Amino acid sequence: DARVTQTPRHKVTEMGQEVTMRCQPILGHNTVFWYRQTMMQGLELLAYFRNRAPLDDSGMPKDRFSAEMPDATLATLKIQPSEPRDSAVYFCASGLPMDRGNEQFFGPGTRLTVL
Amino acid sequence: AQKITQTQPGMFVQEKEAVTLDCTYDTSDPSYGLFWYKQPSSGEMIFLIYQGSYDQQNATEGRYSLNFQKARKSANLVISASQLGDSAMYFCAMSDNFNKFYFGSGTKLNVKP
């Protein structure tokens, strides 16, 4: 049963600390997305990759956020330094264009709390 | 510009009745995809149904059907025979030519016993 995996599932940290979230996309999927979900803003697209290359990261605060795909099986989202307003659930999703119309498969999310 | 609009923040439906969740979209691309996702209280995002812009027939998946009205740019989700387990947030989404997704603000559905 192929699934997107995300680690950690929960993270509590103090303001100013670095946070790294990891995502393993479904094997064979070549697009990876990072979303942030909050009660106030809903689901926001932060960045997305195709074939490991960043296509759009306009939704990401550049001064503190960075997203990378070191290889096809790993995507990372880093926040440095973290702030309380970064508290949210961060979802990773992967997909294969033209596979059921670009359907995205979501991971379980990382719930981040910055104190 | 907002791409996906869900005008119903919350809805109630009686168990075993049908319910329609509204979604309108905005795009000038001829090719796009429309999706509905369910997010239960546990937090995961579950794919429900997909409609391609060139599909002639409305998509159906079990108790879910998508009422696609292209001229009106609407893609409403119809859930037949509601069950208590259908209580969740429902998100409408659209993918563009670049595989970028746009999500609506969601509709919280409560199924009453």
Structure confidence by residue, pLDDT tens digits, B22-78: 999 999 888 889 999 999 999 999 999 999 999 989 999 999 999 999 999 999 999
* Residue B30 at interface with chain A, using a CB cutoff of 8 Å: no
Q: Does B2 have pLDDT greater than 80?
A: no
* Residue B90 at interface with chain A, using a CB cutoff of 8 Å: no
Q: Does B91 have pLDDT greater than 90?
A: yes
Task: Say what the pLDDT of residue B31 is.
Answer: 87
Query: What type of residue sits at position B93?
Result: A
Q: Which residues of B touch A100 (CB under 8 A)?
A: 50
Task: Say what the pLDDT of residue A87 is.
Answer: 97
- Inter-chain residue contact B45 with A48, CB threshold 8 Å: no
Task: Say what the pLDDT of residue A56 is.
Answer: 86
Closest among A43, A11, A48, A15 to A31, alpha carbons compared: A48
Scanning every residue of chain A, which has its alpha carbon at the shortest distance from the alpha carbon of B53? A101
CA distance A56 to chain B (A): 9
- d(CA B92, CA B67) in angstroms, rounded, equals 12
CA distance A106 to chain B (A): 6
**Two structure tokens written together for B102:** 């746009």
**Two structure tokens written together for A38:** 């909050």
Mean pLDDT score of chain A = 92
Residues B36 and B103 sit within 8 Å (Cβ to Cβ): no
Residues B105 and A41 sit within 8 Å (Cβ to Cβ): no
- Inter-chain residue contact B100 with A93, CB threshold 8 Å: no
Q: How many CB atoms lie within 10 A of CB A54?
A: 14
Q: Does B1 have pLDDT greater than 60?
A: no
Task: Say what the pLDDT of residue A98 is.
Answer: 63
The tens digit of pLDDT for each residue in A75-111 reads 999 999 999 999 999 999 998 876 556 678 999 999 9
The tens digit of pLDDT for each residue in A26-52 reads 999 989 999 999 988 889 999 999 999
Task: Say what the pLDDT of residue B96 is.
Answer: 82
Residues A57 and A67 sit within 8 Å (Cβ to Cβ): yes
* Residue B106 at interface with chain A, using a CB cutoff of 8 Å: yes
Q: Does B93 have pLDDT greater than 90?
A: yes
Q: Which residues of B touch A108 (CB under 8 A)?
A: 43-44
Instruction: Please classify residue A34 by burial: count the beta carbons closer than 10 Å to its beta carbon, then call 0-12 exposed, 13-18 middle and 19+ buried.
Output: buried
Query: What type of residue sits at position A58?
Result: S
In this prediction, residue B15 has a pLDDT band, given cuts at 50, 70 and 90, of: very high
- Write out the E strands in chain A: 5-7, 10-13, 19-24, 31-38, 42-50, 53-56, 65-71, 74-79, 88-95, 104-106, 110-114
* Partners of residue A54 on adjacent β-strands: A49
Interface test with B, best of A102, A104, A112 (most B CBs within 10 A): A102
Instruction: Please classify residue A60 by burial: count the beta carbons closer than 10 Å to its beta carbon, then call 0-12 exposed, 13-18 middle and 19+ buried.
Output: buried
**Two structure tokens written together for B31:** 């090719």
